[in-house]
Chains A and B, each alone.
Chain A
Amino acid sequence: MNRKTIWLIGIGLLGMSFYRATNPELFYIPKGWPKPNYPMHQQHIQPKIVELGEKLFYDPILSRDNTISCSSCHSVYHAFAHTDHALSHGIDNRIGKRNAPGLFNLAWQKKLMWDGAIHSLEAQPLAPITNADEMDETLEHVVQKLNAHSYYRTTFKTLFNTDSISTAQVTQALSQFMLTLISANSKYDKVMRKEKDEAFTAQEAKGYTLFKQYCNTCHSEPLFTNVDFANNGLPMDTSLMDKGRYQITHQTKDSLMFKVPSLRNVELTYPYMHDGRFPNLEMVIFHYSEQLAANVNTHPSLKHPLHLQEEEKNNLIAFLKTLTDEDFIKQHQYKPFLNNY
């Protein structure tokens, strides 16, 4: 081996030491999916930091009176959505103004919250932590409580080499955990991948055809959202006066626009819409089929109700249920490690 070769190998090894390959078991891009919108190069996702983030996610220490955790509104059994409540509730039984959405495939999101108020995944936890109706805590107290807790103190010391836990590290741990929530293994996905013994039923196949005809513009495959905002003809609830994206941009064109949610796991994430007004999928389809009242801001594909036949509605719902990812639920069930807490 000559000197030149040795140099080349050395440089190669040096280069590889700087390349931080993310463990594919923690984060991966499903085949055929677009690149994430999240700047993945900003995170070096590590199992222990993900574990720490998951612990924080389930820990009510983040709330003022240590009763409310992220999981209070984001239940893993419902793809991290909030069920049985139209409007999510928080500390002291206070009721908020919106329904907490499911959490998955967040690396592909651009803006967070129904109105896109939050621009990055790291900034996201700060909103519910400090919201008076949710966790009603200050960041200063969160950091003080974590620093006073022996488990967190030692774990952050080990993972971040810090004697004083900071807001940035807390949000980094939570972000890493949230980035690992990838849902891409539903029946629909297996059928698309042409896996053995996987096929739509006749009803599901018809539903898929209808979906592509009527729904795919906003709920685009494979994410089942176009990662944008839309006005889908919902009349404003005058008890809430929620103007959606307009409240952030103050642009008239954004009036009553809300983030297009992903329809993955939609079977599990009832009730539906930003204010949880529809308790089941039948009522959602009824809205688009019969009740839709378009205005100047309504999405161009929704200018008229769809007027679906009953059989078509049932087919569509059958297809939507193929988007349920049971593996995602099983994989992310939280097993509290009681012994070392």
Chain B
Amino acid sequence: MQLGKQLKIMMVLVCTLSVLQYAKAQTSPNNKGLKICAWLDSLLLQLNRYYYLPALNDSVNIQTLKMYIGNITWLHNNRAIDSATNTYYLVDFSNPNSTNLPVNIPNEANEIQFTLGVDSATHYIGIQQGDLDPRKGMYWTWHSGYIHVKMEGICNKLDTRKNKFEFHLGGFEHPYNVVKTIKLSIPNHARHELRLNCAAFLIQSQVYNKPNIMTPSHEAAMLMQQLSTCFYVY
């Protein structure tokens, strides 16, 4: 076979393989789901365990950590390529099954966007089932609305009863609509874990000044804002 013809055949083969590879990438997303993990700086968080945080010069024990994550959207170069609007997951770190979200991850996604908390519109479409059922214990019946994030624990130096702090962060309407939309880059070769650095959050939170936040409020808004900066994709 002449060289020119061989080259042409190789070109065709290479192009075909490339197309197939791309098509495979398009049609075979990562179906392992999105893992949510809580960390304390470089340590994987386990609930009900004490950790010494040098930045706080204190020992911290997180006993409860639950949050609503929803409206997950995958983006490529700022363009949405897949999204699950109006779908919310209750992530409860005491229940490992709930920390692996059954979402498909498109391979070409290089950004993720999601809601931390249940948005206002969802509050107005009636009482719901599944993860949004008020029976899940993440709903204020006294002032109707979801608790977007519930974090409870101990800081040994707190002078509260049993050294406890309790953050029940809710609010879905003016002036305290504290729901956050978070957009994160997905690094190359990422393992597609969404991580929350609880140490970074506690340091920002001024927990020693205000250890109990239980209502829609300016403080809840501040804490949700601080939390939103502590997520990253690994």
Interfacial residues, chain A to chain B (CB-CB below 8 A): 39, 42, 117-120, 122-124, 126-127, 129-131, 138-140, 143, 166-168, 171-172, 175, 248-251
With CB as the reference atom, state the residue of chain B lying closest to A115: B143
Q: Are B126 and A120 in touch, CB under 8 angstroms?
A: yes
> How many B residues are at the interface, by size bracket?
20 to 34
| Cα separation A126 to B139 with both chains bound (whole Å) | 10
In the assembled complex, the Cα of A140 lies from the Cα of B136 at a distance in Å of 9
How many pairs, one residue from A and one from B, have CB atoms within 8 Å of each other in the complex? 66
Selected interface stretch from B33-41, B47-55, B127-135: B127-135
Which B residues contact A (CB, under 8 angstroms)? Answer: 123-129, 133-135, 139, 141-145, 173, 175, 215-218
| Contact (Cβ within 8 A) B129 A166 | yes
Contacts A/B (CB < 8 Å), 10 sampled:
A117-B144, A120-B124, A127-B141, A127-B142, A127-B144, A139-B134, A139-B135, A140-B135, A171-B126, A248-B143
- Residues of B near A166 (CB, < 8 A) are 129, 133
From DSSP, what is the main secondary structure of chain B's interface residues? loop
A334 to chain B, nearest CB (A): 24
* A168/B133 in contact, CB under 8 A: yes
Q: Are A249 and B143 in contact (CB under 8 A)?
A: no
* With A117-B143, A167-B134: A123-B127 Cβ-Cβ less than 8 Å: yes
| Beta-carbon contact of B143 and A171 below 8 Å | no
B139 contact set on A, CB distance < 8 A: 126
The smallest C-beta distance from B204 to any residue of chain A, in angstroms, reads 22
Contact present for B175 and A119 (CB under 8 Å)? no
Kindly identify which residue among B133, B141, B215 contacts A123, using a CB–CB cutoff of 8 Å: B141
B145–A119 CB distance below 8 A: yes
Known: A126-B127, A143-B135. 14 other contacts (CB 8 A): A118-B143, A119-B144, A119-B145, A122-B127, A127-B142, A131-B142, A140-B135, A166-B133, A168-B126, A168-B128, A168-B129, A168-B133, A175-B126, A250-B218
| Complex Cα spacing A79 to B126, Å | 25
Q: Is the CB of A123 within 8 A of B144?
A: yes
Complex alpha-carbon distance, A250 and B175, angstroms: 9
Let me know if A167 and B129 touch, CB within 8 A. Answer: yes
CB distance from B148 to the nearest CB of A (A): 15
Residues of A within 8 A of B135 (CB): 138-140, 143, 167
State the Cβ distance, A297 to closest chain B Cβ, in Å. 17
